[in-house]
Amino acid sequence: MISEKMKPLVNNNSAIRAMFEEGKRLAAKYGAENVYDFSLGNPNVPAPAEVNQAIIDLVKEEDPVFLHGYMSNAGYEDVRRTVAESLNKRFGTHFHENNILMTVGAASGLNVILKTLLNPGDEVLTFAPYFVEYGNYVRNYDGILEVVSPNTATFQPNLAEFEKKITSRTKAVIINTPNNPTGVVYSAETLTAMADILRRKQEELGTDIAIISDEPYRELAYDGVEVPYVTKFYDNTVICYSYSKSLSLPGERIGYLVIPDEFKDSEEVFNAAVIANRVNGCVNAPSLMQRVIMRCIDCKVNLEAYDRNRNLLYNGLMECGYSCIKPQGAFYMFVKSPEPDEKAFCARCKEENILVVPGSSFACPGYVRISYCVSYDQIARSLPGFKRVAESYGLCGK
């Protein structure tokens, strides 16, 4: 009964489902507290208290017909203006409300902009390791995702290969910084070099190529590292933002697109994106949450909690002799597998009731992703298990 396009998705999904079921099986067998599930990117730090207060205040103060009602498909104008002004203040940009489109999270934002831009057969580039859903999003609009192989020395993008892969069919490149799964932040040098290549290629090929910057982890950066604002490097940039991690609201589905004036045909692209947001069935971003964002525009989650987790896990793994670039952002560590087949390493971890995701799920075999958006305690309790696994591989701790 289901469509041909859905069939591979359903078949592929059973692997993820199997992992989920395995976690439940282990928890039932050994007790949930003895299973160390590092497989999910579900924030465990609560939303700031201001968010819940804003919800209560809004419900008490606002007319329900307004608060829960339809607005422009782009979102409330005052909310969009508040977002624009906040970005301008933080990044020295000059956005206005008609650069901001409120979306049902960044995942929906990515779909909206891809629907707006892609013709069938258009190519979209991205850099391994990458969030596997990008392929599904691009295929939704009959585009082709082309993957640039990873630069495992730094996990900054492999720009030499990137340049070679740009063709006359290249319509966009999706970047993700701070990065899932590596935690790497793309440097200003990286973005400058990437923008130079794209401008050169646009001129050479006579085409327009968009950067689509997926930024759910923008606010999760450590050690004072700066996450450069991509629109300042390259005109044809769209930002896909989400409050899922920055305010710990992943279930609420609230985020926005930034389509700057400098983007080619900006006004037409913005209008088309608003229509895409409507006809894909979202209609608008959830209304109450839009109003919450307006009141909580300067709120932040407790970043120290993630930072403590990061240091505990990183130091613990280093002591065992594992190899990993210390992440500067997000809440993931991308650890080198002690054996070439990282799925075997995952299986070895599972014997210690430790669940991690194989890098091949991010088009980067030989590594595993460990999500540290879990309790500090879970990390502490898991370290002896990580140590026994390391010992079984003869890794040398420091």
Q: Report the nearest approach of its own copies to the CB of residue 347 (Å).
A: 26
Q: If binding is defined by CB under 8 A, does position 3 make contact with its own copies?
A: yes
The gap from C-alpha 289 to its chain's centroid, in whole angstroms, comes to 20
In this structure, the strands spanning 367-371 and 332-336 are antiparallel
* Greatest CA separation for the chain: 65
Q: If binding is defined by CB under 8 A, does position 59 make contact with its own copies?
A: yes
The closest of 320, 335, 325, 322 to 397, measured between CA atoms, is: 320
Q: If binding is defined by CB under 8 A, does position 218 make contact with its own copies?
A: no
Q: Which is nearer to its own copies, 40 or 193 (CB)?
A: 40
Q: Report the nearest approach of its own copies to the CB of residue 204 (Å).
A: 18
For residues 113 and 275, the answer to whether their CB atoms sit within 8 Å is no
Q: If binding is defined by CB under 8 A, does position 213 make contact with its own copies?
A: no
> Which of 82, 98, 99, 116 forms a contact with its own copies (CB under 8 A)?
116
Number of residues that make up the chain = 398
**Cα separations in angstroms, 282 against 62, 103, 278, 286:** 23, 8, 6, 9
Q: Which is nearer to its own copies, 13 or 167 (CB)?
A: 13
Q: If binding is defined by CB under 8 A, does position 279 make contact with its own copies?
A: yes
Q: If binding is defined by CB under 8 A, does position 280 make contact with its own copies?
A: yes
The gap from C-alpha 337 to its chain's centroid, in whole angstroms, comes to 23
> 3-state DSSP call for residue 114?
helix
Q: If binding is defined by CB under 8 A, does position 63 make contact with its own copies?
A: yes
> Which of 148, 174, 227, 249 forms a contact with its own copies (CB under 8 A)?
249
Q: Report the nearest approach of its own copies to the CB of residue 321 (Å).
A: 33
> Which of 38, 130, 131, 141 forms a contact with its own copies (CB under 8 A)?
141
Q: If binding is defined by CB under 8 A, does position 69 make contact with its own copies?
A: yes
- Residues that bind its own copies (rule: CB under 8 A) add up to a total of 76
The closest of 257, 255, 217, 219 to 237, measured between CA atoms, is: 257
CA torsion 257-258-264-266 (nearest 10°) is 90
Q: If binding is defined by CB under 8 A, does position 15 make contact with its own copies?
A: no
Taking phi first (over 0 means left), then psi (-120 to 50 degrees means alpha), and beta for anything else, what does residue 12 get?
Answer: alpha
Segment interacting with its own copies (CB under 8 A) among 62-70, 152-160, 190-198, 355-363: 62-70
Q: If binding is defined by CB under 8 A, does position 215 make contact with its own copies?
A: no
CB neighbourhood size of 300 (10 A): 12
Q: Which is nearer to its own copies, 60 or 398 (CB)?
A: 60
* Separation CA 122–CA 126 (nearest Å): 13
Q: If binding is defined by CB under 8 A, does position 294 make contact with its own copies?
A: no
Segment interacting with its own copies (CB under 8 A) among 260-268, 319-327, 341-349, 351-359: 260-268
> Which of 34, 86, 93, 140 forms a contact with its own copies (CB under 8 A)?
140
